[in-house]
Amino acid sequence: MQVVEQATITSTFEEIRRRAELHWKQLWNSGNPVAMVGTATCGRAAGALEVVQAIKEEVEKQELVCPVIEVGCMGHCYAEPIVIISKSGYPPICYGRVNPVIAQRLVRDYILSDDPCLEFVLGALEENDIIPSFAEFPRAQYEKKIILKNCGQIDPTNIDHYIANGGYSSLVKALQMHPDEIVSQVKDSGLRGRGGAGYPTGTKWEICRKAPGRPKHVVCNGDEGDPGAFMDRAILESDPHSVIEGMIIAAYAVGARHGHIYVRAEYPLAVQRVQAALRQARKLNLLGRHILGSDFSFDIKLFQGSGAFVCGEETALIASLEGMPGIPQHRPPYPAIKGLHGQPTLINNVKTLAYVRHIVEHGTEWFKSIGTEKSAGTAVFALAGKVVNTGLVEVPMGTTLRQVIFDIGSGIPKGKSFKAVQIGGPSGGCLPESALDLPIDFGSLRDAGAMMGSGGMVVLDEDDCMVEIARYFLEFTQRESCGKCTFCRLGTKQMLEVLNDITKGRGKIEDIDTLEQLAQDIKNGSLCGLGKTAPNPVLTTLRYFKDEYMVHVVEGRCPALMCRELITFHIVPEKCERSCDACVGTCTVEAISSHPKKRYKIIDQEKCVKCGTCIDACPPQYNAVTKLSPPGEVAG
């Protein structure tokens, strides 16, 4: 009986795969050039849709045959919009910072006339003799793409592309295994939850599998609320089927009947692409009743989160699914035993689920061979802030921060110097230069006072004030606190007021102790991760940058010249060119005027809103606008 069933699964899927591969090969072997444009949200913000339009129009005008495919995010966000053109006789070439005019040129000069427009090339996707390939880039030796491999290489709205690249074959393999076997495989692989806390995934699955009560649920946590993190968004937009496949395998392993993907409503494109992917999977019977002719039935619904950071916490997320305000509950009982509607519920992060198919396919030993002993596999970071190559990075655990920021990210722009890196968003911390050689894994970051979090990494340079960044994060958590626990609700407010005072020059020396005391109390007195980690940004900046706090408090000065109450803008008369009016024209509040006789420019301190526009406007050869802290006067 079981043998018959297994044969059905294999033969049903074989048919699906044959057709998908046929479509995939038709695309590439037809001899026609193919243009791929990255149209994830970041690409669209940079104007990718206009580029798609421009290519299509030009292709039509030149009467060419060239399919234009919208793919996801390659991770090179600094160079968006990105276009990849494949043409026979050449390696696939990736172009960066393409605008509609460049796009037209690519069609005319390269596709039509064989000039690969080297001036716009970012790199080639395959090694060749003409153009340097990404594999030869210095960053390539540090990167290892597992869950980002498909991103930007396939059309996320076309399930055939996913299947032709090995997709859903892990599901077929899993359906022929005993659920216990899969659970122990995930357990042995050492996979830990990528949502931030790093709980062993296999253990969670085991608890849920053993839990009594039916039906069971699998929930994919895509409530990526950390400001500065966008990895989950990129995966859901660029490779949604990898997450869906992971969910189906998880459901089979724990015996779940219902699935829910929880996606932030702020990610409309991710919502749209996941919905399309679910429809396609259902059509091929990869979801629904008797998946691929097996005894196993499972379906997934998409739920849009409505903008509450605390819903990333699993019990709050469940409350939200049930139509309640997202207020966390006490654990235990853990959701794996008693979750949605009191039924066993397995909750995993987007990235965690995306790893599952690779573990089933390549086995536990392969996964364990990547990364460190206690943290197997890779880590995905969203690199942003004051760094040259912003974007998505996937590296084996154990890579150092220095390698990520300087070797992959190419360091700090405009020759400024590195000050700190903020990891893990509002729950994480700011690490200084001395922590740069720290190998990244769950344990090391926690010891340093930060945490893995979901993987946001914001680089800060000498112009960033550490008190201000701590204040910023606290303002965020204070606003997002659900209000259940007193210490989190009121304690963060107190801390915020103290920090507000310090950044406004009203700080007192004893404030520093108050902050430390409050931080401890909030950590001890809060139920969920939000409160327990909310003081981290303050604690780490106090630990590594206490002198900056002291300068604010004692001297009333902001060393980074960022805190607006502690700085004033001035125009140095000796440097001012006098006949130039750039600053006058640009000032949005008309605060700049000319000296009646000597013609140099003066800023009216009453009117000035300290936006800094005049600094950008003043021609670099004069460089006459200066900031002073503490507020002072420039002799005229």
Partner 1 sequence: MTITLEEETQVGQETRRILKRFSRKRDNLIPILQEVQGKLGYLPRQAMLEIAEFLGIPEMDVYSVVTFYNQFRLNPPGKHSIRVCLGTACHMKGGYIALDAWKRRLGIGPGETTEDREFDLDTVACVGCCTMAPVTVVDGKPEARVDPTRVDGLLLAFGHESQKGLKENDASS
Q: Which long-range contacts (CB under 8 A, 24 or more apart) does 290-295 make?
A: 291/171, 291/175, 291/248, 292/8, 292/9, 292/12, 292/13, 292/171, 292/172, 292/175, 293/5, 293/8, 293/9, 293/12, 294/5, 294/8, 294/9, 294/175, 295/5
Q: Are 427 and 374 in contact (CB under 8 A)?
A: no
Looking at beta carbons only, is 286 or 308 nearer to partner 1? 308
Looking at beta carbons only, is 168 or 309 nearer to partner 1? 309
**Binding flag, residue 611, partner 1 (CB under 8 A):** yes
Q: Which of residues 579-598 bind partner 1 (CB under 8 A)?
A: 586, 588-590
Looking at beta carbons only, is 202 or 326 nearer to partner 1? 326
Looking at beta carbons only, is 80 or 206 nearer to partner 1? 80
Q: Using the 8-state DSSP alphabet, how is residue 556 labeled? A: -
Looking at beta carbons only, is 29 or 588 nearer to partner 1? 588
**Binding flag, residue 472, partner 1 (CB under 8 A):** yes
Among 70, 80, 160, 441, binds partner 1 (CB under 8 A): 80
Q: Name the segment binding partner 1 (CB under 8 A); options: 160-168, 197-205, 265-273, 618-626.
A: 265-273
Among 168, 303, 367, 442, binds partner 1 (CB under 8 A): 303
Phi, psi of 628, deg, nearest 5: -120, 135
Q: Are 469 and 537 in contact (CB under 8 A)?
A: yes
Among 132, 325, 630, 636, binds partner 1 (CB under 8 A): 325
Among 613, 626, 628, 634, binds partner 1 (CB under 8 A): 613
CB contact set of 225 (below 8 Å; sequence gap of 6+): 264, 308, 309, 311, 312, 480
Looking at beta carbons only, is 520 or 586 nearer to partner 1? 586
* CA separation for the pair 219, 217 (Å, rounded): 6
Task: Give the total residue count for the chain.
Answer: 636
Q: How many angstroms from the chain centroid is the CA of residue 168?
A: 25
Q: Using the 8-state DSSP alphabet, how is residue 75 labeled? A: S
Among 323, 415, 596, 632, binds partner 1 (CB under 8 A): 323
Among 162, 355, 476, 569, binds partner 1 (CB under 8 A): 476
**Binding flag, residue 558, partner 1 (CB under 8 A):** no
**Binding flag, residue 318, partner 1 (CB under 8 A):** no
**Binding flag, residue 507, partner 1 (CB under 8 A):** no
Looking at beta carbons only, is 255 or 385 nearer to partner 1? 385
Burial of 296 (0-12, 13-18, 19+ CB in 10 A): buried
Cis amide linkage into residue 215, ω under 30° from 0: yes
Looking at beta carbons only, is 112 or 580 nearer to partner 1? 580
Q: What is the DSSP string of 435-487?
A: GTTPBPSHHHHHHTT---TT-EEEEEETTS-HHHHHHHHHHHHHHH--S-SHI
Q: Name the segment binding partner 1 (CB under 8 A); options: 190-198, 209-217, 240-248, 469-477.
A: 469-477
Q: Provide the binding-site residues for partner 1, judged by CB under 8 A.
A: 41-42, 44-46, 77-78, 80, 225-230, 233-234, 265-267, 303-304, 306-309, 320-326, 382, 384-386, 390-391, 422, 425, 456, 458, 460, 464, 469, 472-473, 476, 482, 586, 588-590, 609, 611-613, 616
